[in-house]
Amino acid sequence: MNVLYAAWGTGMSEALTPSWVLHSRKYRDTSLILDLLTGEFGRVTVVSRGARSKGGRLASSLQPFRLFLASWRGKGELKTLTKTDFPASPLQISGQSLMIGMYVNELLVRLLVRHDPLPQVVAGYGQLLTQLSIAKSTEMIEPALRRFELQLLEGLGYGISFGIDAASGECVSPGQTYRFQPGTGFVATSESAGRYPGSTLLRIEADDLDGDSARTARDVTRAAIDDLLGGKPLVSRQMYRSLKAHLG
């Protein structure tokens, strides 16, 4: 669990909740609408009235990748932000790590149901952001991202077992090949297209995310997530592809 999150989760006023900003958008002349991620209340949408008023500093503080304290009121889906406190600085995330952070935030906004607490997902999110802030290479980023995606799928009730044949219920065999069916799992197959060696699946089950196992985990989580999204594209994923193409 993120150390800062753990510290804020104990001995604190019930009026203030540790929160991450997932997304913000302008609202009317001076306000912001924010999607917050919290361990206690799940995803919460709030309006911060006057956050963009002239001379105000709140808008610049309500940025993604910063853990802060917030309280709100209201009975509908859209709450009103009433109080904030910023005891910690925002994480410094840039480059490819920033694109991945944007992707994860969009994923959470799209997939999480409002007011459905998933504390393990929130803890994993904090750990991922910490990794993104210190990562020096893609090799450091990808395993952390895959672990979080799998944790998110598990929290949503779509966990993937890499060690069990979903059709037979038997353990995956290292010498057998399998295909992945979103919503079902891995099924033994003799087809050549879209199949994965059992030995690779067992490496992922053992949390070995290097080489072939990392590529397989990426393909599988992408298929599972795309299925949950109903085929609707992610803006952040399109932006990342465009950036890579532009940079050559």
Report percent pLDDT > 70 for the chain.
91
Contacts of 101 (CB under 8 A, 6+ apart): 64, 65, 93, 129, 132
Q: What pLDDT shows up at residue 13? A: 32
Q: Is 176 left (phi over 0), alpha (psi -120 to 50) or beta?
A: beta
81-85's contacts with Cβ under 8 Å and 24+ in sequence apart are: 81/34, 81/46, 81/47, 81/48, 81/49, 83/15, 83/16, 84/58, 85/16
pLDDT, tens digit, 9 for 90 and up, residues 89-114: 889 999 889 999 999 999 999 999 99
Q: How many residues does the chain have?
A: 248
Alpha carbon distance 114, 153 (integer Å): 16
Alpha carbon distance 50, 34 (integer Å): 13
pLDDT band at 246 (very low <50, low <70, confident <90, very high): very low
Q: In terms of pTM, does the model score above 0.85? A: yes
Alpha carbon distance 100, 126 (integer Å): 14
Give the phi and the psi of residue 39 in degrees, each rounded to 5: -75, -35
pLDDT, tens digit, 9 for 90 and up, residues 213-242: 999 999 999 999 999 999 898 998 877 666
Alpha carbon distance 42, 36 (integer Å): 8
Q: Which domains does the chain have, with CATH numbers?
A: 3-85 (2.40.50.140), 95-247 (1.20.1440.120)
Q: What pLDDT shows up at residue 244? A: 56
Higher pLDDT, 198 or 54: 198
Between the alpha carbon of residue 5 and those of residues 20, 38, 41, 165, 183, the distances in Å are 10, 10, 14, 37, 32
Q: Which amino acid is at 248?
A: G
pLDDT, tens digit, 9 for 90 and up, residues 167-224: 999 999 999 999 999 999 999 999 877 899 999 999 999 999 988 999 999 999 999 9
Report percent pLDDT > 90 for the chain.
76
Place of tokens 């219920």: 169
**Dihedral (Cα; 207, 212, 215, 218), 10-degree rounding:** -30
DSSP one-letter code for 14: T
